[in-house]
């Protein structure tokens, strides 16, 4: 990216190179398609953006408009900084703010609480962008909406099943995280079922009592 105000700012006179920017440069190579997809998966830990070369029928202007200003990949879970209206992947800017107290674009003061979701019209356009399945090169010929990306991964036959947790591996698989999410889901489902049971019980017992009273009077 050029050195305009939309690009992350680096002091060329600073002799200390932040490890964050080393990772940033790696992902610049990824975004230009200079690394294989397998290598991308290996190097993309913590950088969730989508490889721009895998998008179909999307203009260069639109790709640039939906590029994260940190990892330089296509936005994943986009958020906007309220201080300067710059767009980032949520994980990218959250990672940045864990060690900085300003935005990487214009260096304005910024906290995680000041990140907002883009307008719905922007989100809808982003979700409708067409992207090749991550296993396209392995034989899956599906081109899908970006909004359906993870749903497709869960069903793609070329996405291997993990021997540990039984879920599809995907591109950023983590057994521990998957199992935690499953436990949380089942816990919430249990709470919902208990609430439904209590609601049914509250509505049913008075009706049974009234019915018993009517029967007693009729006798």
> Quick one: 35 and 118 in the same domain?
yes
Residue 88 maps to a domain: yes
Give the pLDDT of residue 66. 94
Of 180, 181, 142, 177, whose CA–CA distance to 158 is shortest? 142
Is position 76 within any domain? yes
Overall number of domains in the chain: 2
Q: What is the pLDDT along the chain (219 residues), one digit of tens a residue?
A: 333 333 333 333 333 333 333 333 334 433 444 333 333 333 344 457 899 999 999 999 999 999 998 999 999 989 999 888 899 999 899 989 999 998 887 788 999 999 999 999 999 999 999 999 988 888 888 999 998 888 888 788 887 776 666 666 655 556 666 667 667 767 877 887 887 888 887 877 666 666 555 555 555
Backbone phi, psi, residue 188, to 5° = -70, -35
As given in the structure block, the two tokens for residue 166 are: 């039984």
Judge if 88 and 27 occupy the same domain: yes
Within-domain flag for 3:
no
Same domain, 125 and 210: no
Indicate the DSSP class of residue 88: E
pLDDT attached to residue 167: 63
Residue after which a domain boundary falls, among 132, 166, 183: 132
Beta bridge partners of 130: 56, 145
CA distances from 54 to 75, 102, 135, 218 (A): 13, 32, 11, 76
Q: What is the pLDDT of residue 170?
A: 57
pLDDT at 126: 93
Q: What pLDDT is attached to residue 128?
A: 93
Say whether both 127 and 178 belong to one domain.
Answer: no
Q: What is the pLDDT of residue 59?
A: 93
* pTM tops 0.75, yes or no: no
Q: What's the CATH code of the domain at 65?
A: 3.30.40.10
Q: Show Cβ contacts of residue 118 under 8 Å, excluding neighbours closer than 6 positions.
A: 78, 79, 80, 87, 126
| 32 shares its domain with 114 | yes
**One domain, residues 23 and 126:** yes
Residue 187 domain boundaries:
174-219
The verdict on 65 and 124 lying in the same domain is: yes
């Amino acid at each position: 990216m050029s050195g305009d105000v939309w690009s992350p700012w680096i002091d060329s006179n600073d002799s200390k190179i932040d490890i964050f920017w080393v990772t940033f440069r790696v992902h610049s190579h990824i975004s230009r398609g200079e690394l294989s997809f397998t290598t991308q998966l290996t190097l993309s830990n913590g950088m969730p953006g989508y490889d721009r070369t895998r998008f179909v029928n999307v203009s260069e202007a639109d790709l640039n408009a939906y590029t994260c200003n940190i990892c330089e990949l296509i936005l994943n879970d986009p958020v906007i900084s309220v201080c300067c209206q710059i767009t980032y992947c949520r994980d990218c800017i959250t990672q940045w703010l864990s060690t900085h107290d300003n935005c990487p674009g214009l260096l304005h003061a910024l906290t995680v609480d000041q990140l907002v979701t883009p307008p719905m019209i922007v989100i809808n356009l982003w979700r409708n962008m067409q992207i090749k399945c991550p296993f396209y090169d392995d034989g899956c010929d599906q081109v899908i909406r970006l909004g359906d990306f993870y749903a497709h991964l869960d069903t793609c036959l070329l996405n291997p099943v993990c021997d540990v947790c039984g879920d599809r591996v995907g591109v950023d698989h983590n057994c521990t995280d998957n199992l935690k999410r499953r436990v949380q889901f089942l816990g919430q489902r249990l709470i919902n079922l208990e609430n439904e049971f209590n609601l049914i019980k509250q509505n049913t017992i008075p009706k049974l009592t009234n019915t018993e009273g009517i029967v007693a009077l009729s006798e």
